[in-house]
A = this chain, B = another copy of it.
Amino acid sequence: MLTPTQLCKCLGDDLRLSLVCLLHGQGEVCVCDLVDAVSAPQSTVSRHLAQLRQCQLVVARRQGTWMHYRINPELPAWAQQTMANLVSPACEALSLNLPVPACCEN
């Protein structure tokens, strides 16, 4: 089960926090769009997504070769509130420009 320490550890990295912000802003995003949005190597993004998934912060849905990620809607309330609190200051601090242009509209 997710602990507060684990949540903070997950969010305590610029790239992972960026991914969470992007997913929080748009319901569901596929990996290629996330790779574009954060302009980091694909393997790096995928590795961080795996970490977020392992902590249950995000869930994935496969559609053909695409994987669509979204924030896990079944997180405990304290975790959801924590993430909601952080998103807007984080978007500013990380200078993320939402929304991400979607490559795959399926």
Q: How far is the CA of A3 from the CA of B81 in the complex (A)?
A: 18
Find out whether the CB atom of A89 lies under 8 angstroms from the CB atom of B85. no
Q: How far is the CA of A36 from the CA of B86 in the complex (A)?
A: 32
Of A11-19, A57-65, A97-105, which stretch is located at the interface? Answer: A11-19
Residues of B contacting A8 with CB < 8 Å?
8-12, 17, 86
Contact of A5 among B3, B76, B81, B93 (CB under 8 A): B93
For A11, the closest partner residue in chain B by CB is B8
For A80, the closest partner residue in chain B by CB is B85
Given A4-B17, A5-B17, A9-B12, 6 further pairs, Cβ under 8 A: A3-B93, A5-B90, A5-B93, A5-B94, A78-B86, A81-B85
